[in-house]
Structure 1
Amino acid sequence: AIAMHKANHPHTEHYCESVWDVDPVEVVKGRKVGLCWLSPDCKHFSKAKGGKPVDKTIRGLAWVALRWAATVKPRVIILENVEEFKTWGPLKDGKPDPDRKGYTFKSFVKQFRKHGYEIAWKELRACDFGAPTTRKRLFLIARCDGQPITWPDATHGDPQDLNVQLGLKKPYRTAAEVIDWSLECPSIFDRKKPLAENTMRRIARGFQRFVAENPNPFIVRIGQTGFGGDRLQYEINRPLTTITTKAEHLLVTPYLTTYYTETLENEVRGQIVDKPIATIPTANRFGLVTAFLTKYYGQGIGQELVSPIHTIPTKDRFSLVTAFLMKYYGQGTGHILDEPLHTITSGGNKFGLVTVAGINYQITDIGMRMLQPHELFLAQGFPKEFIIDKDYKGRKYPKSAQVARCGNSVPPPFAEALVRANLPEMCVNREMVKYSLQA
């Protein structure tokens, strides 16, 4: 994380050591501190850790905030963590003591007040501030300069919200915005290594929920030089642009499938792409599934659809799905597959029919690929120019490391909104705002 941050912020001082070994007085060198931002390790608070034993040392990292408050007195201290941070309490047999939940957190807050700080906390969602992800985090703001703690107003909202319709807020940014439609989505049927049965079942269930039962599909023009090309969206009931002799239009109803363990037999893990993506973890758990459709009669062509993506993890766990798979017989009578896909024969097309806006389409293929690191970073709210594939010495990062850094990061719109609201005098222009990664 530090190496990636240094590549993007070469003029920042970086300390590759324990936070407890860093002396705030020595670092500050007599200068006044306007802002101290802290993102202590959250994995030993997060519900994603499950029932595994926790590390007392890691859970106690947030106490370093009091050391800075006591020694160099920053005007404003902002601490970011998962919402479960409020349950911080003593351990019992290596696990949080349920009878003393929140005990340590209350003590933590009390110590800030003893040092002369006003303190408040609030849960915020990144999508409300312009990031295409629903990631939710808890923020604590403490300040000792007599100025009020200010929570930024949401700048984005649901497209159906009255404030959005009146133009007072912008609509949520969506997963569709960050998907690179120029990347090929390989067929799920002719892979050297067949997809796992659970993956195929996941695709089938997702097709039913997000495609076959989706009342509002989108049309995306497919360019000549790649899968996506210059992407344009159309409403399904609007005329297409001029159709050339090449098949430049595909009908696609994409969705994202998430690679988390299902707990229910018929559970569907995924989302449509016209909403913000879910929280992104440190392992990529998002997959993109795309079904290529052509009209079931004549020389009809297909089209492609898009929707917003869910929160991005640090591992590849997301898939995009664009149509629901059905098997058909004779004149098109068939059934939806909610079990593993049936055997695909070699004698002609044996896919089913999908009806979109009253028009029948035949599925000619289904593709799936994992979301790539540059898509996940965009979904997290990072700018396109942020360097993610190499460190400050030019050494390349593997994709797994890139995704892990993304899942551990603070969405930049979060940080910008909070700093602008509480320290506007330090934000003369946008370039002065730092995009930080959690170490």
Structure 2
Amino acid sequence: MTEIIVDNFAGGGGASTGIELATGRSVDIAINHDPAAIAMHRANHPETEHYCESVWDVNPREVVAGRKVGLAWFSPDCTHHSKARGGKPRQKNIRGLAWVAVRWAATVQPRVIMLENVEEFQDWGPLDNEGQPIETKKGNTFRSFVNALRNLGYTVEWRELVACDYGAPTSRKRLFLIARRDGKSIVWPKPTHGHRRSPAVITKRLEPYKPAAGIIDWSIPCKSIFGRERSLVEKTMRRLALGTFKFAINDPDPFILSEDQIHPWMREIDDSHKPMVASFLSSYYGETKGNEARGSSLHDPLHTITAGGNRFALVTSHLTKFRGNNIGSSMTDPLPTITAGGQHLGQVYAFLTMYYGTGVGQDLRDPINTIVTKDRFGLVLVRGVAYQIVDVCMRMLIPRELYGGQGFPGSYIIAPEHNGKSFTIKQQVAKVGNSVSPPMATVLVQANLPELCVGSGRQLALERYNPVAGQLAFSL
């Protein structure tokens, strides 16, 4: 191989993993200032030459050592460009990290440069004295950055791409910029996946999006939201109630577990009947506005994972076939007698009634307020068969599931040793939130550098990333 591949801002290795899955070999050089990130990258890419220092302290000519650079990948810090930062002051030095790509272009002239960032990177411009973007100069610095690359002989294009369109189980949307100086055209890969109800998927021109359900480890028990030693706060209960209505009770196509996904802990909910579980993901942050349900169906891709902490809660509504008529009365009638066997169902009634709509709750001994137009309350119709909710359970997603949602291979090492200790859960979540979705790097490299993707090396990379027992798979 006469050309090398360099991953600047390498982080825990998302871009490097995607590049390796495309080319069949590890990136040659990885640069990152964070020792923990380098520890994770080194654990998964031991053949790579690592530099744990600021990208500005690395001399491109020295590390390249006379070799030609086929691809230089850049994923500069996005936090001081993102709208998610709100009104917090931005820092010029962090917003300016992308200029290092121009330095590499001027010194070692990579044949292809790829850069990934948030969509707001296109608005990159000067800041005022309070660290806020100057509205009238929005995008000025971005245009100067693009012109600098063009003046160095590069053709430059950029687009916003959504990872789930290319086979990743996340709806993460990012800006990708490609610059090349070899006279070849920049190629943007065509989407391979679409929404399950879209005409392109129905006519089989596209594959359906990979659902969030595929990254869930169903063997991990969910704890009932009722009877906890420390009760969930009202905002959380309201969020779960709204989600239960939207994704279980009122959804014409709720996500129902198949028989092979049922685990013993689920049978303990109602061991006298065959259990069914309708599930959804609740967004475990932010304010709930009105009757808005902050969450997503497990039929759909996982929402964007951030470095700010785990914000995804798996909610399971446990269903059993509707028996008797004890919950078939009108909503305007008093609540039917709660027997010893139906006490748990009464809790679900209280939960749904208290937190749906604008009501503040009521005593179970009082009539239920009229809050929905349907005659039956807490019923789920599945293929015409009525089921009743017997419990609602919740747990946060674990890091392994988040990495699967981002598109990492199941065998990826996410808890390497650093400073004599394994990564904490917080560190694992931070690294996946900051990472590039590997499938995006894969498809971009395949489209623009097919000459680096030929031979047996790619198959070796796929074999290396075969999932091990108990871990989640990733397939191209």
Q: Which range moves more in the overlay, 210-219 or 404-413? A: 210-219
- 1:264 Cα shift? 2.3
- CA distance in 2: counterparts of 1:96 and 1:367, whole angstroms: 44
Distance 1:363 1:328 in 2: 19
Identity, % of aligned pairs? Answer: 52
2:303 to 273, 278, 283: 278
Shift of 1:380: 0.5
Q: Secondary structure at the match of 2:49?
A: coil
Q: What is the DSSP-based 3-state SS (H/G/I as helix, E as strand, rest coil) of the residue aligned with 1:190?
A: coil
1:295 corresponding residue in structure 2: 321
Which residue, 186, 192, 211 being the options, matches 2:229? Answer: 192
- Does residue 329 (structure 1) correspond to residue 335 (structure 2)? The answer is yes
TM-score by length of 1: 0.82
Partner of 1:73: 109
Structure 2 Cα separation of the partners of residues 170 and 227 of structure 1: 33
In 1, distance between residues paired with 2:387 and 2:54?
Answer: 59
Q: Which residue of the other structure, out of 404, 416, 420, is the alignment partner of 2:442?
A: 416
**Which digits, 9 at most, give the CA deviation of each residue in 1:124-167, with x for residues without a partner?**
00001110110000000000001110101111112233332333
Runs of 4+ in 1 over 6 A off after TM superposition: 331-335
Worse-matched range after superposition: 264-273 or 192-201: 264-273
Residue in structure 2 matching 1:41, options 77, 82, 93: 77
**Cα distance in 2 for residues equivalent to 1:161 and 1:267:** 24
- Give the 3 Å change call, closer, same or farther, for CA 342–184 of structure 1 in structure 2: farther
Does residue 126 of structure 1 match 2:163? yes
Of 149, 153, 156 in structure 1, the residue corresponding to residue 190 of structure 2 is 153
- For these two proteins, the number of residue pairs brought into alignment is 388
- Alpha-carbon shift at residue 192 of structure 1 (Å): 1.6
Separation in 1, partners of 2:167, 2:188 = 15
Which residue of 2 is the match for residue 354 of structure 1?
A: 379
Residue of 390, 399, 402 corresponding to 1:376:
402
Change (3 A) 1:431 1:58: farther
- What corresponds to 2:19 in structure 1? none
Mapped to 2, the partners of 1:130 and 1:49 lie a distance apart of 28
* Displacement after TM superposition at 1:296 (Å): 2.6
3-state SS of 2:296 partner: strand
Q: Which amino acid aligns with 1:390?
A: P
Closer/same/farther in 2, CA of residues 189 and 424 from structure 1, 3 Å limit: same
SS in 2 for 1:96: coil
RMSD over equivalenced CA pairs, Å: 2.8
After superposition, give the CA deviation of every residue in 1:203-259 in whole Å (9 maximum; x if it has no partner): 111112221110012432266754479xxxxxxxxxxxxxxx966842222111102
Task: Identify which of 114, 134, 142 aligns with 1:97.
Answer: 134
Task: Report which structure shows greater RCO (CA 8 Å, sep ≥6).
Answer: 2
CA distance in 2, matches of 1:359, 1:124: 41
Query: Is residue 2:148 matched to residue 1:111?
Result: yes
Structure 1 regions of 5+ residues with no counterpart?
Answer: 230-244, 299-326, 346-350
Instruction: Please identify, of 75-84 and 276-285, the stretch whose mean Cα deviation from structure 2 is larger.
Output: 276-285
After TM superposition, the score normalised by the length of structure 2 is: 0.76
Contact 1:183 1:228 (C-alpha < 8 Å) held by counterparts = no
**Residues 247-326 of structure 1 aligned to structure 2 (within 5 Å):** 249-262=274-287, 264-282=289-307, 283-297=309-323
**What's the CA shift for 1:344?**
7.3
Secondary structure of the corresponding residue to residue 50 of structure 2 = coil
Q: Say if 2:279 and 2:316, in contact at 8 Å, map to a contact too.
A: yes
